Structures are given as structure tokens and as C-alpha cells.
């Protein structure tokens, strides 16, 4: 968990996929990223308790959404 907190605190982008974000302490990782001014993207069929802090919420399944995001992250 300590390693995950360090990564979250230093990231520029966090993509949260397929979780309700109610299980603690892992649900706090997006807060660590937010405090670092990271861009937060949530991919989940339903809104979560933390959807309001996300920069982008994609209400769809990960199997549909993630393949559509790959071109944005594979640019050179």
C-alpha cells in the first residue's frame, strides 16, 4: 500500500477502472493523485461516491472504453 500511495502521489494521470471506490484504504489513492494535480479518469458503468472529483467520468464498461483510449496513449 505504501508503494501505491507513493505512485499515486507522484502521478500525472490516474485511470480508475471498474471499481465502486468504497473499499478503504485503496479508495484513497485517487485523492493522493488529486492532491498532486493529476488528471483523474473514472471508467465504470455507474457513478461512484468519488465521481465528483474526477476530471472525466466514462459511464461504460472497461471492455468497451479502454480500447478506445489506447490510441491517445500510444502516440509518439
The 8-class DSSP code of residue 4 comes to H
State pLDDT tens for residues 30-45: 999 999 999 999 999 9
Q: Is the peptide bond before 19 cis (omega within 30 degrees of 0)?
A: no
How far is residue 48's CA from residue 30's CA, in Å, rounded to a whole number? 12
State pLDDT tens for residues 4-26: 999 999 999 999 998 888 889 99
* Strand 39-43, strand 56-58: pairing: parallel
Q: Which domain holds residue 37?
A: 2-73
CATH number of the domain encompassing residue 30: 3.40.50.1220
∠ Cα 34 35 39 (to 5°): 30
Number of domains observed in the structure of the chain: 1
Q: What's the whole-model pTM score?
A: 0.88
Amino acid at each position: 500500500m505504501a508503494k501505491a500511495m507513493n505512485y499515486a502521489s507522484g502521478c500525472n494521470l490516474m485511470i480508475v477502472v471498474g471499481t465502486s471506490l468504497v473499499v478503504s484504504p485503496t479508495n484513497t489513492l485517487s485523492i493522493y493523485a488529486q492532491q498532486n494535480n493529476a488528471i483523474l479518469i473514472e471508467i465504470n458503468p455507474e457513478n461512484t461516491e468519488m465521481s465528483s472529483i474526477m476530471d472525466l467520468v466514462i459511464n461504460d464498461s472497461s471492455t468497451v472504453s479502454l480500447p478506445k483510449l489506447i490510441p491517445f496513449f500510444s502516440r509518439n
